[in-house]
Chain A
Amino acid sequence: MPMDEEAVAAMYRDHGAALRRFARGAVGSEQQAEDIVQEAIIRVWKLAPETTVGLRAYLYRTVRNLIVDEYRHQARRPRVVDSLDDGFDRAYDAERIDVLLGRVVMEEALLRLTAEHRQALIALHYRRLSVAEAAEELGVPVGTVKSRCFYALKALRSTLEEMGVEP
């Protein structure tokens, strides 16, 4: 099926916000981020992929390459590092952009989990709570915390696969 305005609008609708979040962590302004996202969508549309499987991963990769190109153009400018204070530090080179990409992809994967699964991962992985501590805090039996952790990791794995990431 040839991709037309509708397909581009769908790509923007489904992926625009996530791509912008990623680009915004690496470039100086909302407008620059928006321009990069639009350019990436146009490039992917020009390739006329016949399937939308793995499209997000490909869009991420295209945005990433556009950002890297942008920095190559600006290479002569003095480097100033400032923090965005939302957990993102500005990315100024390919390596940092890749770290940022990893972060944005994982955040998106976490957001796709159910609130209960996300909560379980946050309690055990990020806050380093034990199963018993998490059970007490969440007000659920120990067995429930265990099974939520199990199914949260299952869900995370398949979410990453859907997004085109090989865990």
Chain B
Amino acid sequence: MSHEEMRLSLGAYILGGLDAEETRAVEAHLATCAECRAEAEGFEMLPALLDAVPVSRAMALAPAEAPVEAVAPPVLLAKVRARRRVNRLRWGAAAAAVAAAALVGGVALGPVVNPAGPIAVPAPAVTQPAPVARYTLSSADGVQVDVALVRKNWGTELELSCHGMLGEGVYSVWVSNADGGWERAASWSSSAYQGTAVLTGATAQQPSAIRGIQIRDEAQHALASLTIG
């Protein structure tokens, strides 16, 4: 392989995706090529950082998501107006110096990464309460999702059982509240299972506040929709 081919193989090498023969070839090249060594060193920390994201979460990120833009609530802007007069007095060399020093710091991610994988969490000694409601959503194409809503002190747990997904793709379950806003409660990839997928979703809404449930495909098209109450 040429130098350029070796260089382009470095990503797959760092990610552990090359076969034994290619791995040996890349390592032999690294021993003699300072440029590729420097490139590989730049990648070295990335796998450990990627491990901060659990596999199931990473898989759910596979479909492209549009960046979310949030609109500032009026109450926040009112606070700004109220404090602006006071704040003007605070501006000056000292405040600017503090801000500049703080901004240089950045987020020290290294020490917070947990390369050993998920942290052990003591199992909650709580008995599972019975679902408060059960629904079945089905589409014309034969997609069927059974949903059971379980009340939790933080909101609602959704027990989902999904069958008949069409081909490979990432599906998601959305719930809406009384204000008509939709929130993703769970997502899963249909390529990783055969037949039925059983998973758990979550929303901060109380079961009584949930007004609708939707199953969406990768392109965010609703496959099945249900209105409650």
Q: A residues near B, CB below 8 A?
A: 2, 4-5, 8-9, 12-14, 16-18, 20, 24, 28-30, 34, 38, 41-42, 45-51, 53-55, 57-58, 60-61, 80-87, 89, 96, 98-99, 101-103, 105-107, 110-111, 114-115, 118-122, 124-132, 134, 143, 145-154, 156-157, 160, 163-167
Residues of chain B at interface, number, CB under 8 A = 86
Task: Give Cα distance in the complex from A50 to B50, angstroms.
Answer: 32
CB proximity of A89 to chain B, nearest CB, Å: 5
Task: Give Cα distance in the complex from A50 to B54, angstroms.
Answer: 36
Task: Give Cα distance in the complex from A128 to B45, angstroms.
Answer: 17
- What are 12 sample pairs from A and B whose C-beta atoms fall under 8 A apart? A5-B84, A13-B69, A18-B68, A29-B154, A57-B106, A85-B202, A121-B15, A121-B50, A122-B58, A124-B17, A163-B107, A167-B49
Asked if B221 lies at the interface with its beta carbon under 8 angstroms from chain A, I say no
Whether A42 touches B17, Cβ cut-off 8 Å, given contacts A60-B107, A86-B186, is no
* Contact A127–B55 (Cβ < 8 Å): yes
* Contact B119–A96 (Cβ < 8 Å): yes
Chain A interface SS verdict (over half): helix
Interface of chain B residues 47 through 90 with chain A (CB within 8 A): 47, 49-50, 52-65, 67-73, 75-77, 79-81, 83-84, 87-88, 90
Q: B residues near A, CB below 8 A?
A: 7-12, 14-19, 22, 42-43, 45-47, 49-50, 52-65, 67-73, 75-77, 79-81, 83-84, 87-88, 90-91, 95-96, 98-100, 102-114, 119, 121-122, 124, 126, 152-154, 157, 185-186, 200-202, 204
